């Protein structure tokens, strides 16, 4: 058998269920990799090795009982992700573990109970190895904060792994984990997936009941998988959304009757795919995509056409009021976060600036923004409906250097006590870096990032670049099928 960390998540799951590997073997192997790799990578804020090994031993005991049929247990009664190691973003409560939210301004106390996402995946059998690096309150497209070293890109340690699920993406890409859950409120799964060469799936609004946010009046945030392969992402999605044969989501293909893993292995039908570089941020932050982003788009078009799909230009018109409305909704939660007045000076400049603006904003202004976003959703979904899927680059630039957004020099340590960041310049850079991501959250649609190109010309050489495919409601299985069809 290959080294444990070289196995796909599906293959590792099968080895754990069959007894070829024990849960303790798997947990210990990945904990060893974390111990050796994380000091350079900064993917983890907290490693819970002792608890992970206890949980793995309990999983192995359950496997023994299931194999023997003790007390009515049998192999079929093992949970879907029996013994699978993973980790949670440090925005997610895990019982007995500190949740930092990436902020020095909060008191760091151990969570009394599992949050919804951790409870769901633990119930499916996962073993949590710790908490991964995030930006403060998950607000940014890079995973850097004042409490721990920045999360770095496994393919170039001077570069960022993206955000806000940057620590989780870095850990999966570096094979410190087989796969990991992320959460996405404005691109937080797809951005780090693209930066780290992974498949990252943002499910549609309402499909996954578990997600994390400090406040989400627009319903932007949803949990989803980060994985090396589409099949691995499908396996985690099955744990997040157990199959319900008697139900069918609105817009879901009639064939959705099995697990996402089963469906992901099927060939998709020929599709009409609209290609667009239009962005609702362009009116406020004009940008020109990097050559590397356009190369990734061209590669994606070539692969899709070779697979039998039709592509064509999709001219999408966006209302130029979008940037202000999205920013109002996106930052509403940080305005209401419970932070002691004497600790507010410990917030990062961007967080502090947007918190102050949110607190000064009237409820009527927020409601106006939310109403506009609902209309934006209707208008955009109507335009997208002319195509089966809509294609763009995931990112407009290559993964950015660590500290690039804020102007801070990290070296090998934490943030400096003071940094030269300008909040508005930081935010502008993020919107130009990922101009096609947040609109998908506003529309509530499923989307996937697929790593189709490397700047060095071959997989693993240089920096990864991805494409984003956006589908109609209920198209998660279809997006996974297309990713699998393209070889991921």
Catalytic residue (one of 22, 89, 160, 279): 89
Q: Which pLDDT score is estimated for 264?
A: 97
pLDDT of residue 250: 39
> Is residue 251 scored above 70 in pLDDT?
no
Residues forming a β-bridge with 450: 467
pLDDT of amino acid 408: 72
Q: What was the pLDDT predicted at 419?
A: 56
User: Residue 421: its pLDDT value, please?
Assistant: 66
Which listed residue (143, 160, 164, 168) is catalytic?
164
Domain boundaries, the chain: 87-485
pLDDT tier for residue 73 given thresholds of 50, 70 and 90 = low
Two tokens at 407?
Answer: 């102007």
For residue 211, what pLDDT is reported?
67
Give yes or no for residue 1 having a pLDDT over 90.
Answer: no
pLDDT tens string 76-89 = 689 999 999 999 99
Instruction: Tell me the average pLDDT of the chain.
Output: 93
Question: What percent of the chain is predicted at pLDDT more than 90?
Answer: 88
Confirm if 152 and 42 have CB atoms less than 8 A apart: yes
Read off the pLDDT of residues 349-394 as tens digits, 9 standing for 90 and up.
Answer: 999 999 999 999 999 999 999 999 999 999 999 999 999 999 999 9
Residues forming beta bridges with residue 201, ordered by sequence position:
448
Which pLDDT does position 249 carry in this prediction?
41
Return phi, psi of residue 223, to 5°. Answer: -90, 150
- 249 catalytic residue (yes or no): no
Higher pLDDT, residue 335 or 74: 335
pTM reported for the whole predicted model = 0.95
CATH topology of domain 87-485: Amidase signature (AS) enzymes (3.90.1300)
pLDDT above 70 covers a percentage of the chain that reads 92
User: How far, in Å, are 37, 211, 292, 372, 400 from residue 153 at the CA level?
Assistant: 12, 25, 17, 37, 9
Answer yes or no: 475 catalytic.
Answer: no
CB 225 within 8 A of CB 233: yes
Q: How sure is the predictor about 243, in pLDDT bands with cuts at 50, 70 and 90?
A: low
Mean pLDDT for 224-249 is 84
| In the predicted structure, residue 254 carries a pLDDT above the cut 50 | no
Going by their DSSP bridges, the two strands 127-132 and 44-47 should be labelled as: antiparallel
Residue pLDDT, tens place only, 148-169: 999 999 999 999 999 999 999 9
148-151 contacts at long range (C-beta below 8 A, 24 or more positions apart): 148/42, 148/45, 148/100, 148/414, 149/42, 149/410, 149/412, 149/413, 149/414, 150/42, 150/402, 150/403, 150/410, 151/41, 151/42, 151/43
Q: Which residue has the higher pLDDT, 414 or 270?
A: 270
Q: Give pLDDT, residue 256.
A: 45
Q: 362 catalytic, yes or no?
A: no
Q: Which two tokens stand for residue 100?
A: 């930092």
Tens-digit pLDDT profile for residues 117-138: 999 999 999 999 999 999 999 9
Q: How confident is the model at residue 340 (pLDDT cuts 50, 70, 90)?
A: very high
pLDDT of residue 248: 45
Catalytic residue among 188, 392, 449, 475: 188
3-state SS of the chain? CCCHHHCCHHHHHHHHHHCCCCHHHHHHHHHHHHHHHHHHHCCEEEECHHHHHHHHHHHHHHHHHHHHCHHHCCHHHCCCCCCCEEEEECCCCCECCECCCCCCCCCCCEECCCCHHHHHHHHCCCEEEEEECCCHHHCCCCCCCCCCCCCEECCEEEEECCCCCHHHHHHHHCCCCCEEEEEECCCCCHHHHHHHCCEEEECCCCCCCCCCCCCCCCCCCEEEEEECCHHHHHHHHHHHCCCCCCCCCCCCCCCCCCCHHHHHCCCCCCCEEEECCCCCCCCCCCCCCCHHHHHHHHHHHHHHHHCCCEEEECCCCCCCCHHHHHHHHHCHHHHHCCCCHHHHHHCCHHHHHHHHHHHHCCHHHHHHHHHHHHHHHHHHHHHHCCCCEEEEECCCCCCCECCCCCCCCCCCCCCCCCCCCCHHHHHHHHHHHCCCCHHHHHHCCCEEEEEEEECCCCCCCCCEEEEEEECCCCCHHHHHHHHHHCCC
Q: What is the C-alpha separation between 205 and 223, in angstroms, rounded?
A: 10
Rounded distance between C-alpha atoms, residue 47 and residue 34, angstroms: 8
Model pLDDT, residue 210? 73
Report pLDDT digits (tens) over 185-219: 999 999 999 999 999 999 999 999 876 565 799 99
Is residue 208 within 8 A of residue 224, CB to CB? The reply is yes
Instruction: Say whether pLDDT at 113 is over 90.
Output: yes
Q: How confident is the model at residue 74 (pLDDT cuts 50, 70, 90)?
A: low
Q: Does 229 have pLDDT greater than 50?
A: yes
């Amino acid at each position: 058998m290959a080294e444990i960390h070289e196995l796909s998540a599906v293959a590792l799951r099968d080895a754990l269920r069959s007894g070829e590997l024990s849960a303790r073997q798997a947990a210990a192997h990945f904990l060893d990799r974390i111990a050796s790799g994380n000091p350079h990578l900064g993917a983890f804020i907290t490693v819970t090795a002792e608890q992970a090994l206890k949980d793995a031993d309990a999983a192995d005991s359950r496997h023994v009982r299931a194999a023997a049929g003790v007390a009515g247990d049998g192999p079929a009664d093992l949970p879907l992700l029996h013994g699978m190691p993973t980790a949670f973003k440090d925005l997610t409560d895990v019982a007995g573990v500190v949740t930092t939210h990436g902020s020095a301004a909060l008191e760091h106390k151990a969570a009394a109970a599992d949050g919804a996402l951790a409870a769901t995946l633990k119930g499916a059998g996962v073993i949590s190895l710790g908490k991964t690096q995030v930006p403060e309150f998950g607000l940014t497209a890079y995973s850097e904060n004042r409490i721990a070293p920045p999360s770095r890109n496994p393919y170039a340690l001077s570069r960022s792994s993206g955000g806000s699920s940057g620590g989780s993406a870095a850990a999966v890409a570096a094979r410190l984990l087989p796969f990991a859950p992320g959460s996405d409120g404005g691109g937080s799964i797809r951005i780090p997936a693209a930066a780290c060469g992974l498949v990252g799936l943002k499910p549609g609004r309402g499909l996954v009941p578990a997600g994390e946010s400090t406040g989400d009046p627009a319903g932007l945030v949803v949990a989803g998988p980060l994985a090396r392969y589409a099949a691995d992402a499908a396996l985690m999605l099955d744990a997040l959304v157990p199959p319900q044969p008697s139900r069918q989501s609105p817009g879901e293909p009639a064939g959705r009757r099995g697990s996402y893993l089963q469906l992901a292995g099927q060939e998709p039908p020929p599709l009409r795919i609209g290609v667009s570089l239009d962005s609702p941020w362009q009116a406020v932050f004009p940008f020109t995509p990097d050559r590397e982003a356009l190369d990734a788009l061209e590669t994606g078009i070539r692969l899709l056409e070779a697979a039998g799909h039709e592509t064509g230009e999709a001219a999408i018109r966006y209302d130029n009021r979008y940037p202000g409305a999205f920013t109002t909704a996106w930052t509403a939660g940080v305005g209401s976060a419970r932070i002691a007045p004497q600790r507010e000076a410990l917030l990062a400049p961007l967080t502090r600036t947007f918190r102050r603006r949110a607190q000064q904003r009237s409820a009527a202004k927020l409601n106006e923004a939310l109403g506009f976003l609902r209309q934006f959703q209707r208008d955009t979904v109507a335009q997208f409906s002319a195509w089966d899927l809509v294609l763009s680059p995931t990112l407009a630039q290559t993964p950015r250097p660590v500290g690039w957004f804020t102007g801070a020099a990290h070296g090998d340590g934490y943030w400096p006590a003071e940094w030269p960041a300008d909040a508005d310049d930081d935010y502008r850079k993020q919107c130009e870096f990922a101009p096609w991501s947040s609109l998908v959250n506003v529309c509530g649609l499923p989307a996937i990032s697929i790593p189709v190109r490397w700047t060095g010309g071959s997989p693993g050489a240089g920096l990864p670049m991805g494409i984003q495919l956006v589908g109609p409601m209920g198209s998660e299985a279809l997006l996974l099928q297309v990713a699998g069809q393209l070889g991921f």
